[in-house]
Amino acid sequence: MTIAAPGGLQVAAVDANAAAEGLKPGMALTHARALIPHLRAEPLDVEDDAAALKRLAVWCTRYTPFAAPDGTDSVMLDITGCAHLFGGEAALLRDMVTRLRRFGIVARAACADTPAAAWAWSRHGKGTPIIAVGATKTATASLPLAALRIPDTTVAGLERLGLCKLDDLFGLPRAPLARRYGVDLPRRIDQLLGREAEPISPLLPAPVWQTKLQFPEPIVHRDGVEIALDRLLARLCELLRKADQGARDLTFTLGRVDCTAQHVSIGTSRAVRDAKHLRRLFMEKLDRIDAGFGIETATLAATRVEGFVVTQGDLDAGHTDDTLDAGAAERVWALVDRIENRFGAQRIRQVAAVASHLPERSVCDEPVRRLAASGAATWPRQSQRPLSLLASPEPITALAPVPDHPPLTFTWRHVMHKVAHAEGPERIDPEWWRLAQSLPDRRRTRDYYRVEDSEGRRFWLFREGLYGHEPAPRWFMHGVFG
């Protein structure tokens, strides 16, 4: 591969055949073509390479949840507590390298008690790929200075002083090295020897609730995927049941043999641990799965869980109020989950009450899932407000005997109405926490009246004034009673 540089195109990476011919990264492309006239060069695509490395890191989560890209050409894994699942550290590394070789990826792997030592040994070490715990200093003593992950200029400067191996640096005092070559050099030495922590930030957060299956042979048919899903759901729901938890978001991940993964995610409106209901939600999305050349692993993770609330139905079979029993409510929520997972959580919405006295702010239109999670204010049992409100209050012309009395007549949309009956007022003060804002309309009180005209039509209108002290209050129409 080639990369553009200020002095022209340079070689960014070489394969084994090119390296055998004397080519190396950093060499000018013209020089490389002079050595090998039939050289095949491809432009370097940094974004595609980074995406491919990220996919490889996701594939490596089959060995441990703590995996992340490291630099531009490697993946770092923390296999603490995971190696025994694969027969030990040596068997894990052997399995990983063998699988990558089948994919056409030439890889070197190493295992050490520090990430820096594993990085150094995988690139410059010889012999066994495993450094025993506590033997890092002895094992890496003969490695070149480039194993420290320091700049080439620093390596060249140290070599001019006759320091060519890591053992030459281990015994030197830190202060002179830091003054001459910067603090990065002693820091790299401390990271290598485990004196300074170098935590791995995993690419994917490790879910607390997760179950996994690894198939002895890759599966390619949907029947096998469904069987795996059933087993994983049974295990996960049992774990949630023992912990008195319920899942809100779940992800079903299928690892393919080509180092890629297929993800299917679902969400629920409330905490759920019913395997049948969750299976129904997943089944509607399994058609998107492409098994490719085969699926090796299946993982089911609950990425968001909540405390499970058990509801009990009314002991009286005959319900006289307008509430649903527990069974009917569960069926409604199950239907909501199916619609949301098919069309999206934003597509199914619910009108809910908001804790505000202002009519235009007392109603919200939110996704059902968000309302179920956060909760909304309850509707007043006996509301004397109309169900139909105007989009915004409309000015009207009203004639009242005195300013504090309801109108005798009013004109709305060029039609005059004679008031036959009026009830009120219902005074609504502005919200005190919004008084500091510079909008004058929010500093005014409202006196609402329910009026009925001579033809029996009922309206909801209000008089607006600045705390009732304006000489000429304004009148507005805000709703109509059906």
Whole-number pLDDT of residue 326 = 53
The partner residues of 252 in beta bridges, in order of sequence, read: 264, 300
Report DSSP state, residue 84. Answer: G
pLDDT at 5: 45
The 10s digit of each residue's pLDDT in 289-315 is 888 888 988 999 998 888 877 665 555
58-86 pLDDT, tens digit per residue, is 888 888 888 999 988 899 999 988 888 88
Task: Render the burial of 414-447: b for 16+ CB within 10 Å, e for the rest.
Answer: eeebebeebebbeebebeeeeeeeeeeeeebbbb
Would you call 225 exposed, middle or buried from its count of C-beta atoms within 10 A (0-12, 13-18, 19+)?
buried
Distance CA 301, CA 299 (A): 6
| Nearby residues of 114 by Cβ (< 8 Å), 6 or more positions away | 136, 191, 192, 193, 194, 198
Sequence-separated (6 or more) residues with CB below 8 Å from residue 249: 265, 266, 267, 268, 302, 303, 304
Instruction: Give residue limits of the domains in the chain.
Output: 2-35, 64-193, 209-307, 388-480
Distance CA 121, CA 277 (A): 50
Rg over alpha carbons for the chain, rounded to the nearest Å, is 35
In the 3-class helix/strand/coil scheme, how is 120-140 assigned residue by residue? HHHHHCCCCCECCCCCHHHHH
Q: Model confidence over 398-421: pLDDT tens digits? A: 998 887 889 999 999 999 999 999
pLDDT given for residue 373 in this prediction: 53
Q: How many residues does the chain have?
A: 482
pLDDT, tens digit (0-9, with 9 covering 90-100), for 131-177: 998 899 999 999 999 999 999 899 999 999 899 999 999 988 888 88
CATH of domain 209-307: 3.30.1490.100
- Band of pLDDT at residue 371, cut at 50, 70 and 90: low
Q: What percent of the chain has pLDDT over 70?
A: 85
